[in-house]
Amino acid sequence: MSSLKKHIFICEHRRPDGAAKKSCGHQNGAELKKALKQKLAARGLHKTFRANSAGCLDACEHGPAMVIYPRGIWYGAVELSDLDAIIETTLLDDRVIERLQIRKKE
């Protein structure tokens, strides 16, 4: 039985250089996923919370974007410096960080 409690999908989509539309791959998407994986592993949380790469999440204007399931919490303009707060507040305490939230459930 899996002990996985939350799944974090981080957009790494990269449009060609010069594309009119922004893409998370050009805004640290891959670095965010790598850093989150490292932080989770360093704290022994990698079997409880899994960070995965995602293609375009259709939130490009808010990139870099991520969505955290099962609640479907959407965050945008995420910076490396936000990752500790995301781990503490959203992953461990199950609370939303409103300043990062880009979509709310209807």
- Contact residues toward ligand FES (CB under 6 A) are 11, 13, 23-24, 56-60, 63, 65
Question: Nearer Cβ to ligand FES, position 33 or 37?
Answer: 33
Query: Residue 78 CB, nearest distance to ligand FES (Å)?
Result: 11
Cα dihedral: 12, 14, 82, 43 (round 10): 30
| Residue 64 DSSP SS3 | coil
Query: Residue 8 CB, nearest distance to ligand FES (Å)?
Result: 14
Query: How far is Cα 44 from Cα 63, in angstroms, rounded to an integer?
Result: 28
Query: Residue 29 CB, nearest distance to ligand FES (Å)?
Result: 6
- What type of residue is 93? D
